[in-house]
Amino acid sequence: MAPSLARVRIPSTLRVGPRPVSRLGIGLMCATAAVLAGCGSSGPPPPKLVPVRGTVSLDGQPLANAIVTFIPEGKTPGAGGSGKTDAQGEYQLTYSRGGPGAPAGEYRVTISKRLMPGGKEVPDDDKTPPMLSQAKEMLAPKYSDRTRATLTATVPENGGPVDFALKK
């Protein structure tokens, strides 16, 4: 036989101090407190960003339309950043949470260059996730795979160029 569940009766008004307060009043107070708790600062201030730019080449030739991603290592603050190379292989890093540059520090770096079947560039407006895309990575995993990348970079306190010379 299943145990019986006792009914708990909540009175329509509760006494808070010298005045009675209705359940609706208590609900409104709780909702107001929740909203106010969500206001204000949501954490530490963002880290100071410094400008980061550079060039990427493959076998001595500029590597166009490659995605360069900086992943913070160790005590480097922030969320890293990424940039896309132009026709001359030049990139400028954009912080993952907005703004030009990245915090100074140590990074693991990935460089990805994906091509559609037939060797065509992936269109700029293509939002297909890599796992579902027909595009294939053309760089070795030591450059392009987030878990196997061997590239590293140090972003100095004042920022500056960070260049990568890749080999097939």
- What's this model's pTM, rounded to 2 decimal places? 0.73
What Å distances lie between residue 77 and 32, 74, 128, CA to CA? 34, 9, 30
- Tens of pLDDT, residue by residue over 142-168, are 999 999 999 999 999 999 999 999 999
Question: What is the model's pLDDT at position 165?
Answer: 98
Among candidates 137, 157, 142, 135, which has minimal Cα distance to 109?
142
pLDDT at 126: 87
Residue 74 pLDDT > 60: yes
Where do the DSSP E strands lie in 59-150? 61-62, 67-72, 81-84, 90-92, 94-95, 105-112, 114-115, 136-137
Local structure of residue 36 (DSSP, 8 states)? H
For 52-166, the fitting CATH number among 2.60.120.10, 1.10.3720.10, 2.60.40.10, 2.40.50.1020 is 2.60.40.10
- Look up residue 28 and give its DSSP letter: H
Cβ–Cβ < 8 Å for 93, 83: yes
Mean pLDDT over 45-72 rounds to 96
pLDDT, position 127: 86
**Percentage of the chain modeled with pLDDT above 90:** 64
Domain ranges, ordered by start, for the chain: 52-166
Q: What are phi and psi of 56, to 5 degrees?
A: -125, 130
pLDDT of residue 8: 56
At 109-129, the pLDDT tens digits run 999 999 999 889 988 888 888
